[in-house]
Structure 1
Amino acid sequence: MSWGIIHFLFPYPEKVKYGKVILSKNNEVIGATLNTSDKWCLYSSLEDVDPFFIKAITQKEDKWFYYHFGINPISVFRAVFYNLTSQKRVSGASTITMQVVRLLEPKERTYLNKLKEAFRAYQLECTYSKDEILEMYINSIPFGGNIEGIKAATVLYLQKNPNALSTAESSMLSIIPNRPTSLSIQHQKEFLKSERDKWIVRYYEEGIISDDEKYSALLEPLHIKRENMPRTTPHLNRRLINKYPLDKVIKTNIDVGKQIKAEKIISKYSRRQSGLGIYNAAALIIDNKTNNVIAYIGSQDYDDDQNAGQIDGNLALRSPGSTLKPLIYALGFDRGILTPKLQILDVRHDFGSYSPVNYDEQFRGEVTVTEALKQSLNIPAVSILEKIGTPALINSLKNAGFNTIKRQEKRLGLSLALGGCGVNLTELTGLYAAFAQEGSYTPLHFTSAEIDSSKHQIVTPESAYMIYEILSQLKRPDFPNNYQNSFHAPPIAWKTGTSYGRRDAWSVGYNKEYTVGVWCGNFNNIGVPGLTGAETATPLLFSLFQSLYTGNNISKWEYDIPEHIFEREVCATSGKVPNIFCDHLVSDTFIPGVSHTEKCTHLKNYFVSTDSSFYYCHDCLPKEGGYIKKQYANPSVELMTFYLENNLPFNAPPQHNPKCRTSITGVAPQIISPVEGREYIITDKSTELEMKAHLSPDVAYTYWYVNDHFIKKVERGQSLFHQFKFGQNKISCTDDKGRNAEIYIFVK
């Protein structure tokens, strides 16, 4: 109880004030901060310090350290005797524990303060172990200027860690703390060397070094020079210091060799790109086996003040362009609506008020899923997202660590497929690392303490495999035309992206070993006409990938084929299960029990006149014969409209028998604008919405009705705009063959 009261009245001295030190995966110092007193004081445990330095410093300062309780009585009596007989202060009798007190609470050197030091030393001994006190000591002893502690001294003076010291270096550092001014490394190098050699001999005489160690140490030149504190990963350092404000030591997973290579590549590349008005770049490299971030480059140059080099491009919120499309297609594979050879539409399409176009403002009619993803076509991606649902994509992104999406999800729509959201390079690279790991996402590990191994299966291994097969094809439209080293390019799967206004160029690639993400652009958000993911970011991506391998030691990884994926023959025209008329087949990958099994209908049988000028329906088919059976193209209404609007030839059937008295049932109009069931918000009562429908090729004009009131007769190809009343509206369209379609919308 009394001891507790004493501690309450006389609180413990404040512990050592440490700055923060950031280490690489191999414990190299890659960054540090000053402490609150603007001193370089970095924490190091006793285990991380050369054992001889510990021996030397205790032998020199307090050889009985482990045998007294903070105060050495023999030293005290000897000091009193010498000081009295010499009439001046000759010896202070300070133990290491007392020196720790003085370092923590500096006071004027008086006898009264000496007594206070003794009391504090006793307090420390009652509270901490000997090793803890010794650790405080070696971490706070002065080494000249604003350098305190062995860690800061070895890093700044010798450019190494304290566990890598030679006998000579340990001897030299053991004598500086008592005389940091007279043994200054800048002005007293010769004197420092002579004092070092003197103490090397003394340590030998005291039996703590051997003969060989003594002679080797005496022959060792004095290599000591103050350098700046390393700053290998300045952006990551700041990120981790903000994340772990209480940690004295932050050990990252950075591979210094790969980090420095990547920095040089990006710096050199950015200087070339600056001539095009592209000033900033960032990159992230992940080791897929561990999910460790091994290289982190936040900008082209942290010290580039003219181009905002201190901004962290790995955290900057930017539009991802087309880089989310592989996830959309993978979800389509998992829902069974897609397979790689399936033909899908690339035609003009209005998704309500959203009317995307392709990057080249052209439409291709019908393309395979593979080609749609390889060419990064916009209409197919948005169409697929509409089918799988925006919430499904958002949920997958949240499971893949996209924290920014969580904050935006309430206002995200179909434009998400084309970059209508904000993401950062860290999130995007983590997504592609999941593709490399069979569709399983694990949080990225920036530090050795981050061991979160939780997994989220964002897509199946089967769909991840199909995505890899598509994205790893070398002959692709997004391969840079000006990249001269394609022959040496490592085998990877990659995807590019360019944001609206050409503000962001992305390229993210992966193989079994690494995932690399690259962003190029301007932090000030100014677009550049020549900026694209293919021409701007992809050359940098391949350069970074090549830097990860030595010589020709390039991985020849092939993606492991999942157990539950197979191949089947499909119609080359439609990509669907072949029908009897499908005479050209190709092999396609599919997931049994999941992938679509719809039979091909790209042809349709017609009974036509002998001259093929018209066809007969069931009601007008001549009973006496005089007709032939022929097959004609059977495109969807949307594809047929595309052919007709672009004057593209196709094997269309002839007109219906003009003498037929029976009204035949054919393809009714398909209202595509407005969108059925959608809610439209208008701010001006005079706002008009477009009314548009896909029509069969035999239709010349249509009749439009709103709320059962006739509006207008419209010829094929003409547009119609109408001002709707607030509330629910019924829209009807009847073609000139009497076929009808109707939808409901809500206007407010």
Structure 2
Amino acid sequence: MRRGAILGLALLLFAGAAVRDGFDGWVEATALPPLAPETSVEVLDREGRLLRAFTVGDGRWRLRADAARIDPLYPAMLVAHEDKRFFRHSGIDWRAMARAAGQALRHGRVVSGGSTLTMQVARLLEDGTTGQVGGKLRQMRLALALERRLSKREILALYYERAPFGGNLEGLRAATLAYFGKEPGRLTPAEAALLVAIPQSPAARRPDRNASAATVARNRVLARAAATGVIAPEAAHAARTTGIPTQRRAFSAFAPHLAERLRSENPQATLHRTTLDRDLQASLETLARDAVRGVGAHVSAAILVADHQTGEVLAAVGSAGYRDDRRDGWIDMTRALRSPGSTLKPLVYGLAFDEGLAHPETLIEDHPVAFGGYAPLNFDGAFRGTVTVRRALQLSLNIPVVMLTDALGPPRLLAALRRAGADPQIPGGVPGLAVALGGIGLTLEDLVRLYGGLARRGREMPLLYSPGPTPTPRRILSERAAWQVGSILSGIAPPPYAARIRLAYKTGTSYGHRDAWSIGYDGRHVIGVWIGRPDGTPVPGAFGGELAAPVLFQAFGRLKPQAEPLPPPPDDALLLSTAGLPAPLRNFRPRDGVFAPSPDAPKLAFPPDGAEIEAGEGLALKVRDGTPPFTWLANGTPVVVRARAREVLLETPGTGFVELSVIDANGRAARAGVRLR
């Protein structure tokens, strides 16, 4: 009785105010609250699908709702159940209000509500109460004002964004994503009815907290929908047999590193559109997690995929688990500076091709060599002798690429990296020959840009995370040199058990096994993979060819069913054997390198070079390493031949300076100059 009396009193006060102030003037003078509430920042993929959303300031999920993308069944059920004369009244349904007041007076309790959808929107906009006279009067006045300034569809749109759905869920999209894991574009009758029922008592009807109450309320909505012809009775019956969700789903959190970066770079924006593909992103995030399983609790992985024809990034996986603290998952390893290992070698060879220093079939030496105090070694410590440049790159030999870098000059390598869009960081600020072997700081983004440029026939590839104009690309290499590099890299066999697809790819392992890399491309896409520890700690046994290369091939397999062919050779490409090359291109010789003896070459153990020795009746000579038999010479004259022993006694040749030499069975020699007194 009391609540009915309150309702009647509100009507009287409302009528009195209208008479006193003039109805129209009273409504027109209504101050409207803000109609555009704060909504969640959203990051979308290339098709407009949600990648990541953020809660608003008060911790609620409130996502913008586009009426055009809401299943028509939902507003039809909503109007039928809540306000069947919504499209005919001007904000207040006087008939419903009178009926509710009469029922309350007769029954001593509220039997039915008199609030229209517009009045509910008014209450939601101001977070007002429903049971107080002042609050009800304000809702009625605000509802009339809203109807005069907004269309019916605009009023419904406000309801879609502000209706409460239990807990911190506010708005239709937040509800469909949390309860059904989908957008509201396609809803079943059971889903639409539940969404109509929850806002009327969100705390009591939350399906994840009170499934029975939610089911009863949903079924009442279904019965009303069937009675008013919104759905067929058969559809209502089938919907009543459908279960309801009993758990909330987590909101999408794909590409978390990129989402955080976009929000921090443009904090005023509430919508960020990206070039990513959500399905591919989800698949590669799973691949990254699987790739490090069993490798080590602190090992992470990063994967970057781009369309090299446009530069658009299709997937950006910054770690093996954003919330995995053991792996420092919060660090975006696509942008972390690391040593690139051998992944810069293709660029060195491409520059050498452009400078006329070499051709893929040029012969080059893989022997010990020293550049001043720098004597590079191959990763396995072995030497292959004379090989073609093609083979040297495919085997990732260190000595040939250092010789080419010496001939080019390290600054030229750095300039090419910058033309590719990379930002190389030089330890100590002065580049040396070691830059060709990874003595430089680069990111996975940098390397994907570089290899994308190779795939684009030597033209710079922009890296685009959001749709937009692209800058004019710079030339990194000639089309011919880029094709030659791609032809060599595509001849590298896939890793064991990988799909037999043809990619132009290269692996790399940084010093101390801190980084395992694999970067590759086909005719359309480029993918980069990094595996290691974000803190830079070595990962024993981590090789790019064993860890990262299989992930690269799996990533291509998840991107598309088969690789796209690489481009044909340009018209100016010399497709010749070594013998058919012009004479200057048949063999490459280092500019400043001095070939050193191989590790197993003979060495004079005694006497040492520069020694002064008392001349006696004989001079003891000792040789270490080398292959017997040995020939000994004094001042160029053989003095002992075919000696199989490693120690011989030489008759003293007199006093003064003597040049001693020993030659082994393979023609390798060692020398020492001594003074006999």
**TM bucket, shorter chain:** 0.7 to 0.9
Paired AA for residue 338 in structure 2 = R
- Of 312, 315, 326, 2:346 maps to 326
Decide whether the 8 Å contact of 2:61 with 2:169 is kept in 1. Answer: yes
Q: CA RMSD in A?
A: 4.2
| CA displacement 1:202-257 (0-9 Å, x = unmatched) | 22332333455445434544355322223344334333433443443445444454
Unmatched 5+ residue regions in structure 1? 579-597, 603-634, 650-698, 701-712, 718-748
* Structure 1 residues 9 and 111, CA gap change in structure 2 (3 angstroms): closer
Q: How does 1:267-306 map to 2 (within 5 A)?
A: 267-274=289-296, 279-288=299-308, 291-306=311-326
Q: Percent identity?
A: 34
Out of 565, 568, 574, the residue aligned to residue 558 of structure 1 is: 565
CA apart distance, 1:716: 12
1:372 aligns with 2:392: yes
**Under a length normalisation based on structure 2, what TM-score does the superposition of the two structures give?**
0.74
Corresponding residue of 1:312: 332
Counterpart secondary structure, 1:468: helix
The corresponding residue for 2:574 is 567
State whether residues 13 and 101 of structure 1, in contact with CA within 8 Å, keep that contact through their aligned partners in structure 2: no
The question of 1:107 aligning with 2:128 is answered: yes
Equivalent position to 2:477, from 447, 454, 459: 459
In the alignment, what sits opposite 2:511?
Answer: 500
Matched, 1:161 2:191: no
Distance 2:204 2:598 in 1: 91
Match of 2:437 among 415, 418, 426: 418
What secondary structure does 1:176 align onto?
A: helix
> Are residues 427 and 128 of structure 1, via their aligned partners in 2, closer, same or farther at CA, if it must alter by over 3 Å?
farther
For residues 453-505 of structure 1, what are the alpha-carbon distances to aligned partners after superposition, in whole Å with 9 as ceiling and x for unaligned? Answer: 75444333322221111111135xxx76xx3x15x332211111122232111
Q: CA deviation at 1:169?
A: 1.0
1:395 shift after superposition: 4.1
379-388 vs 495-504, greater mean Cα deviation? 379-388
Change (3 A) 1:125 1:463: farther
Q: CA contact under 8 A between 1:16 and 1:136: conserved in structure 2? A: no
Find out whether 1:577 has 2:582 as its counterpart.
yes
C-alpha change, 1:158 and 1:558, in structure 2 (3 Å) is closer
C-alpha distance in structure 2 between counterparts of 1:267 and 1:145, whole Å: 32
Shift of 1:525: 0.8
Query: Quick one: which amino acid aligns to residue 162 of structure 2?
Result: S
1:20 to 13, 33, 41: 41
Q: CA deviation at 1:325?
A: 2.0
Shift of 1:340: 0.9
Which one has the bigger helix percentage? 2
Query: Which of 201, 204, 219 matches 2:223?
Result: 201
- What is the CA-CA distance between 1:177 and the residue it aligns to? 0.5
What is the CA–CA distance in structure 2 between the aligned matches of 1:384 and 1:168, rounded to whole Å? 70
Separation in structure 2 between the aligned mates of residue 600 and residue 251 of structure 1, nearest angstrom: 53
Deviation at 1:510, TM superposition (A): 1.7
SS at the partner of 2:520?
A: strand
Distance in 2 (CA, whole Å) between partners of 1:249 and 1:261 is 24
Whether the aligned pair in 2 keeps the contact of 1:314 and 1:426 (CA below 8 Å) is yes
SS in 1 for 2:343: coil
After superposition, the Cα gap between the structure-2 partners of 1:326 and 1:8, relative to the gap in structure 1 and judged at 3 Å, is farther
| TM-score when normalising by structure 1 | 0.67
CA pair 331-51 structure 1, distance change in 2 beyond 3 A: farther
Q: Is the 8 A contact 1:496 1:538 kept in 2?
A: yes
For the residues of structure 1 that align with 2:492 and 2:305, how far apart are their CA atoms? 21
Structure 2 counterpart of 1:624: none
**1:472 & 1:223 partners in 2: Cα distance?**
51
Report the Cα distance in structure 2 between the residues aligned to 1:85 and 1:27, rounded to whole angstroms: 53
Q: Distance in 2 between matches of 1:194 and 1:108?
A: 25
Q: Give the match's secondary structure for 1:507.
A: strand
CA contact (8 A) 2:60 2:169 kept: yes
Does the CA-based 8 Å contact 1:41-1:152 persist in structure 2? yes
Change in 2 beyond 3 A, CA 1:453/1:101: farther
Counterpart amino acid of residue 500 in structure 1:
Y
Question: Map of 1:175-214 to 2, 5 A cutoff?
Answer: 175-210=197-232, 213-214=235-236
| SS of residue matched to 1:272 | coil
Q: Which residue type is aligned with residue 433 of structure 1?
A: G
How far is the alpha carbon of 1:577 from its aligned partner? 0.8
Distance 1:530 1:112, change over 3 A: same
Q: Is the 8 Å Cα contact of residues 425 and 441 (structure 2) preserved in structure 1?
A: no
Tell me the residue number matched to 2:59: 38
Figure out how many residues of one structure are paired with residues of the other and give that number: 583
Distance 2:96 2:411 in 1: 77
Q: Confirm or deny: 8 A CA contact 2:370 2:596 kept in the other structure.
A: no
Instruction: Give the distance between the partners of 2:325 and 2:539, measured in 1 at CA.
Output: 20
Contact 1:22 1:252 (8 Å CA) reproduced: yes
Following the alignment from structure 1 to structure 2, what is the Cα–Cα distance between the partners of residues 251 and 231?
Answer: 15
Q: d(CA) in 2 for partners of 1:254 and 1:120?
A: 43
Deviation, 1:170, is: 0.7
| 1:234-633 correspondence to structure 2 within 5 Å | 234-274=256-296, 279-288=299-308, 291-344=311-364, 346=366, 356-361=376-381, 366-402=386-422, 404-405=423-424, 412=431, 414-447=433-466, 449-450=467-468, 452=470, 455-475=473-493, 483=496, 485-486=497-498, 488-549=499-560, 553-555=561-563, 557-569=564-576, 571-572=578-579, 576-578=581-583, 598=584
Say whether the 8 Å CA contact 2:458–2:479 is kept in structure 1.
yes
- TM-superposed CA distance for 1:538, in Å, is 1.9
In the alignment, is the contact (CA less than 8 A) between 2:426 and 2:440 conserved in 1? no
Alpha-carbon distance in structure 1 between the residues aligned to 2:660 and 2:120: 96
For the residues of structure 2 that align with 1:376 and 1:395, how far apart are their CA atoms?
A: 22
User: Are positions 1:135 and 2:153 aligned together?
Assistant: no
Distance 1:126 1:454 in 2: 52
CA deviation after TM superposition for structure 1 residue 125, in Å: 5.6
Gaps of 5+ in 2: 1-23, 603-634, 637-656, 662-677
1:50 to 48, 58, 71: 71
- Per-residue CA deviation, residues 557-612 of structure 1 (Å, 9 max, x unaligned), is 4322144234354543xx7415xxxxxxxxxxxxxxxxxxx47699xxxxxxxxxx
